Amino acid sequence: MKKILVIGSTGQIGTELSMRLRSIYGENNVVCGYYAPPYPEGFFEAGPTAYIDAQQINPIADTVRKYNIDTIYNLAAILSATAEKNPKLGWEVGVGGLMNCLDVAREYKCGLFTPSSIGAFGPDTPKDHTPQDTIQRPNTIYGITKVLGELVSDYYFKHWQVDTRSVRYPGLISNVALPGGGTTDYAVEIFYKAVKGEVFECPIQAGTFMDMMYMPDALDAAINLMEANPARLVHRNAFNITAMSFDPEMLYNEIKKYYPDFQMVYNIHPLKQHIADSWPNHLDDTCAREEWDWQSHYNLESMTKDMIDKLKRKLL
């Protein structure tokens, strides 16, 4: 049975990934690293936990030793829009935290999953059918940390056989924990407003397409990649994956099928728009499909239906 440490386990992905990992590998075999509130309800009772600041190597190494950890999911990061306001912090958590995880993984022979992002691409990248291997010249600190993370993770694999694996996540849509300060957060926030019967102020212009994915598919991607046969992996850090691509109008029109009176007005957030404009419209995820059988299950229609069903139960 695997022994897993999730760093940054209380964020948008970590909250649900930890629950999923515990349901597969057993609650006592997944240690949830926490750093700052809010903590999910029942967090400290659900299984082992450890305070971990990814910027400090000792707590990571101590936890790995204490629990005989063999796999680390490193989710600590400062997301794109927030990192642009505090680039030094974005760098220290994104790069410093990853370097600590890599060194611990090397010493204790752990597998390491650290997500990359569509933010690893930039304005010079081909926007449509963005290839797996292409130009990566991002113009955000977040993107720079992601490109560096991909390269240094491949370096640790090639030089020291550290089993590093990663995906370039699109914007993730979910209904458990709120997103943590990214450019794609609007695609979650719009659902909360629709279900509560409030007007949504959209920070991203009509016509701005970005890749998106529903959380259940994102969890499958992380776990299936970490379970994949290493002999089949030509790439490692990081695989393009996607599930859908839409602009705010497409999402709004889909939600209006359930809430015909729902109103959206545009109040463009210049920073988020600038970042969104630099990201691809739609990735080509052929390599992930070929090398570890990646496939998504939710499209815009099925994701919207499920989001509304779940949020109605949560909010009303």
Annotated active-site positions, please? 142
What is the nearest approach in angstroms of ligand NAD to the Cβ of residue 275? 12
Q: How far apart are CA 7 and CA 40, in angstroms?
A: 15
What is the nearest approach in angstroms of ligand AKB to the Cβ of residue 187? 9
Q: How far apart are CA 259 and CA 37, in angstroms?
A: 33
Which residues here bind ligand NAD, judged by CB under 6 A?
7-8, 10-14, 35-36, 52-55, 75-77, 79, 93, 97, 115, 117, 169, 171-172, 179-180, 182, 184
**Angstrom distances, CA of residue 66 to CA of 3, 46, 62:** 11, 18, 6
Which 8-state DSSP code applies to residue 279? S
Of 75, 308, 40, the closest CA to residue 178 belongs to: 40
Contact partner, 52, from ligand AKB, ligand NAD, none, Cβ < 5-8 Å per class: ligand NAD
- CA quadruple 6, 7, 11, 12: dihedral positive or negative? negative
Structure tokens at 80: 């794109």
Contact partner, 8, from ligand AKB, ligand NAD, none, Cβ < 5-8 Å per class: ligand NAD
What is the nearest approach in angstroms of ligand NAD to the Cβ of residue 83? 9
The answer to whether residue 218 forms part of the interface with ligand AKB (CB under 6 A) is: no
Q: If DSSP codes are grouped into helix, strand and coil, which group holds residue 129?
A: strand
Q: How far apart are CA 242 and CA 123, in angstroms?
A: 19
Contact partner, 11, from ligand NAD, ligand AKB, none, Cβ < 5-8 Å per class: ligand NAD
Q: How far apart are CA 98 and CA 112, in angstroms?
A: 10
Contact partner, 149, from ligand NAD, ligand AKB, none, Cβ < 5-8 Å per class: none
Q: Which stretch binds ligand AKB (CB under 6 A): 112-120, 152-160, 189-197, 220-228?
A: 112-120
Q: How far apart are CA 236 and CA 58, in angstroms?
A: 27
**Angstrom distances, CA of residue 215 to CA of 17, 90, 145:** 9, 23, 23
The answer to whether residue 171 forms part of the interface with ligand AKB (CB under 6 A) is: yes
What is the nearest approach in angstroms of ligand NAD to the Cβ of residue 172? 4
What is the nearest approach in angstroms of ligand AKB to the Cβ of residue 166? 12
- Side-chain-side CA neighbours of 287 within 13 Å: the count stands at 20
Q: Which stretch binds ligand AKB (CB under 6 A): 117-125, 157-165, 192-200, 228-236?
A: 117-125
Q: How far apart are CA 199 and CA 273, in angstroms?
A: 20
- CA quadruple 195, 196, 200, 203: dihedral positive or negative? negative
**Angstrom distances, CA of residue 264 to CA of 190, 198, 211:** 8, 9, 21
Which CB sits closer to ligand AKB, 118 or 167?
Answer: 118
Contact partner, 102, from ligand AKB, ligand NAD, none, Cβ < 5-8 Å per class: none
The answer to whether residue 245 forms part of the interface with ligand AKB (CB under 6 A) is: no
User: Contact, 116 vs 146, CB < 8 A?
Assistant: yes
Contact partner, 175, from ligand AKB, ligand NAD, none, Cβ < 5-8 Å per class: none
Which CB sits closer to ligand NAD, 115 or 200?
Answer: 115
Scanning residues 124 to 163, which ones bind ligand AKB (CB under 6 A)? 142
Scanning residues 175 to 194, which ones bind ligand AKB (CB under 6 A)? 182-184
Which residues contact ligand AKB (rule: CB under 6 A)? 79-80, 117-119, 142, 171, 182-184
